[in-house]
DNA sequence: CCGGCGATGCAAATCGATATGCACAACGAG
DNA sequence: CTCGTTGTGCATATCGATTTGCATCGCCGG
């Protein structure tokens, strides 16, 4: 019951391994008759080439590393699925790594992927800078899911969070709300930071007041949202509206609002970010900024494949995907 | 900027590649002095062994294939995460494949994993039988997430759906409901089939009536639940309660109930299965059977590691995880 | 009849690591 | 003094594929 090698096929077809290889790859002509015999032998023996050996020889593995922050956040599975679908047709398989946003894990997983000779890497960096990542992976095709400003060290797929947030603030403003807070993600390189900055800018532009004590940083979890919500809602001069850096936090905030006996959207307006499936399942249905997860995943797959095909010399590309506000019942 | 090989290290340290390998693996003694030099060279050059070459030689890849049905169902990311976490400490990485329950995809992905020389495979089979899978993967360590009865062709992790469903029916019965329907998944080898059977058995045992027209089969999606819900709720003699084969279907059913202007749980009791995060976010909070996704994933990782360690001769194991009902507001 | 060319197939090198056999030195015991 | 043992390091085979260089054969034109 041992695995069958190319040599076994060769013996059965009465030719050399070389000829079998040529017959299967078509890189050199093989007479119709022997090709026939070889294909039959392949069939009878159930031969499938050992891809590890093949990879070592041709220096490509038809695999890509995909480093995701936290797959328990429903936003990510959608991205993973889109990436998987985009790569699967081309015969690529994804090695997934979960970083939990920790620098040590991020670096370790990156090195491991490189050592495994993946053909490319997709990562949403949380702790490492693009420059650091590039240094670790060398010239490998690399796609960053990141809004990080500054020099380009890799192809980048980003979402135009700014316009979505602006639309959210405008929506509040249109409804006559002149004061708003913001619950962001962990401080540092998280997407929350940029969304917070966009929020500040939009609020200023529209003359919406934001007190410093209405701003909070918590992990991207429901518990984080609950905690921040309790804090903000207990304030003597609490804001009339709160925008959250993602939907999960918003869910926690709604928990806190319910605890406090507030009714949405009148006592408090809540706006989330991402538009995960759950968003229009909860009560009240969550008004949120649509983060096009499928498009992000598909764009990553496309960008990576293009980079793999075209080589490292072509200029890096940036693919900025639009976001927009979807109005439901929470604001 | 080329990758650095073991030979480069050897040159720099003034020894042969063999000695470098021995120094790093410790499989043969190397004098303290030369080991020192070698480690320094490794450090200076930033050498990381090429795992593809290593894999080819030692015939192990430290990777496992994980074939999941549909990662957009929130139940699965949790399983994926638990598997990942369980394997990551041991240095394994998972190649994920999404089968969408299609036989062709299932078979193709299995063959691909085998060709890639993964050290083991975890799969929730939807179309292929255990025997067929075993034939494809040969003697490879294999863990099935499956309630499929019959001969054991691999280690198996299963959930005791029967007891959870029984608890659900008992709950309905206790509340005086004597008629119930069931919305199952696709016909065939899906987990829905077994849950339906458990439902029938429990209903019979407790004297709960179930008319054949109260049973439906739909895909495991919200749209499926909506569709089936419309059908069942339009019936002249519609059931007082409906149990669903998973939570997503239950969400769709609740959509349908809302459309029909029914109030839960009084006009209609709804019970789901899985207890995804969303379950206690929606209104009404979903009464459901808890499917311990994390435990399932962890058990799979454990079973696979044990099989990898102990070899193919040890008897196959079955790990049956308990399920239980959690009562909330929908029933 | 000879030289050249295309078609066909094989031997051997290669990818980058690990593992085995062997050489050589130093050293202690008999 | 010899023999065996231990420590140390190198040359070489190996994993299973692809690919290059070379040999052979048949065929055709000159």
The per-residue pLDDT for range B304-323, each reduced to its tens digit, is: 999 999 988 999 999 999 99
Residues of chain A with pLDDT under 50: none
Neighbours of B160 (CB within 10 A): 15
How far apart CA B202 and CA B193 sit, in angstroms, is 14
What is the model's pLDDT at position A224?
Answer: 96
- Taking the CA of residue A61 and the nearest CA in chain B, the distance in Å comes to 9
Structure confidence by residue, pLDDT tens digits, B4-25 = 999 999 999 988 899 999 999 8
A38 touches strand C (CB under 7 A): no
Looking at the predicted structure, is the pLDDT value of residue B1 above 70?
no
Looking at the predicted structure, is the pLDDT value of residue B151 above 90?
no
Q: Of B95, B246, B270, B253, nearest to B177 (Cα)?
A: B270
> What is the end-to-end Cα distance of chain B in Å, rounded?
64
What is the model's pLDDT at position A1?
Answer: 57
- Taking the CA of residue A223 and the nearest CA in chain B, the distance in Å comes to 13
Characterize B166-190 residue by residue with b for buried, 16 or more Cβ atoms within 10 angstroms of its Cβ, and e for exposed.
Answer: bbbbebbbeeebebbbbbbbbeebb
Q: B-chain residues within 8 Å CB-CB of A1?
A: 138-139
Window 231-260 of A, Cβ < 8 Å to B: 251
How far apart CA B144 and CA B303 sit, in angstroms, is 10
What is the model's pLDDT at position A31?
Answer: 85
What is the model's pLDDT at position A177?
Answer: 95
Q: Say how far A78 CA is from D5 C1', in Å.
A: 64
- Taking the CA of residue B207 and the nearest CA in chain A, the distance in Å comes to 34
Structure confidence by residue, pLDDT tens digits, B227-264 = 999 999 999 999 999 999 999 999 999 999 999 999 99
How far apart CA A54 and CA A41 sit, in angstroms, is 20
Among the partner residues B49, B51, B282, nearest to A281 by beta-carbon distance:
B282
What is the model's pLDDT at position B218?
Answer: 96
Among the partner residues B84, B116, B277, nearest to A52 by beta-carbon distance:
B116
What is the model's pLDDT at position B199?
Answer: 96
- Tell which of A46, A48, A82, A116 to mutate to test the B interface (max B CBs under 10 Å): A116
How distant is the alpha carbon of residue A141 from its chain centre? 16
What is the model's pLDDT at position B150?
Answer: 81
Q: Which pLDDT band holds residue B32 (cuts at 50, 70, 90)?
A: confident
Among the partner residues B1, B112, B277, nearest to A93 by beta-carbon distance:
B112
What is the model's pLDDT at position A141?
Answer: 97
How distant is the alpha carbon of residue A166 from its chain centre? 23
Q: Of B189, B184, B183, nearest to B102 (Cα)?
A: B189
* Cβ–Cβ contact A124 with B under 8 A: no
């Amino acid at each position: 019951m041992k695995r069958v090698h190319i040599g076994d096929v060769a013996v059965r077809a009465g030719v050399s391994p070389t000829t079998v290889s040529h017959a299967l790859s078509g890189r050199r002509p093989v007479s119709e008759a022997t090709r026939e015999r070889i294909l039959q032998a392949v069939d009878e023996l159930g031969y499938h080439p050992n891809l590890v050996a093949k990879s070592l020889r041709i220096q490509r593995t038809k695999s890509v590393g995909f480093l995701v922050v936290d797959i328990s956040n429903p936003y990510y599975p959608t991205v993973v699925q889109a990436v998987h679908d985009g790569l699967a047709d081309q015969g690529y398989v994804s090695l997934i790594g979960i970083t939990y946003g920790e620098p040590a894990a991020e670096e370790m997983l990156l090195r491991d992927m490189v050592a495994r000779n993946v053909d490319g890497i997709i990562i949403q960096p949380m702790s490492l800078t693009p420059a650091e990542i590039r240094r670790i992976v060398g010239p490998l095709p690399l796609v960053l899911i990141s809004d990080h400003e500054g020099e380009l060290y890799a192809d980048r797929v980003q979402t135009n969070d700014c316009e979505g947030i602006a639309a959210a603030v405008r929506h509040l403003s249109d409804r006559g709300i002149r004061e708003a807070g913001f619950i962001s993600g962990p401080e540092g390189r998280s997407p929350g930071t940029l969304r917070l900055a966009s929020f500040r800018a939009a609020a200023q532009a529209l003359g919406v007041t934001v007190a410093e004590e209405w701003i909070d940083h918590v992990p991207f979890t429901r518990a984080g949202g609950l905690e921040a919500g309790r804090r903000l809602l207990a304030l003597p001069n609490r804001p009339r509206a709160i925008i959250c850096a993602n939907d999960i936090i918003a869910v926690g905030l709604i928990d806190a609002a319910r605890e406090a006996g507030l009714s949405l959207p009148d006592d408090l307006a809540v706006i989330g970010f991402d538009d995960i499936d759950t968003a229009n399942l909860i009560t009240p249905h969550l008004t949120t900024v649509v983060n096009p997860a499928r498009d992000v995943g598909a764009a990553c797959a496309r960008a990576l494949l293009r980079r793999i095909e075209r080589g490292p010399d072509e200029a890096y590309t940036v693919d900025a995907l639009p976001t927009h506000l979807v109005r439901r019942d929470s604001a």
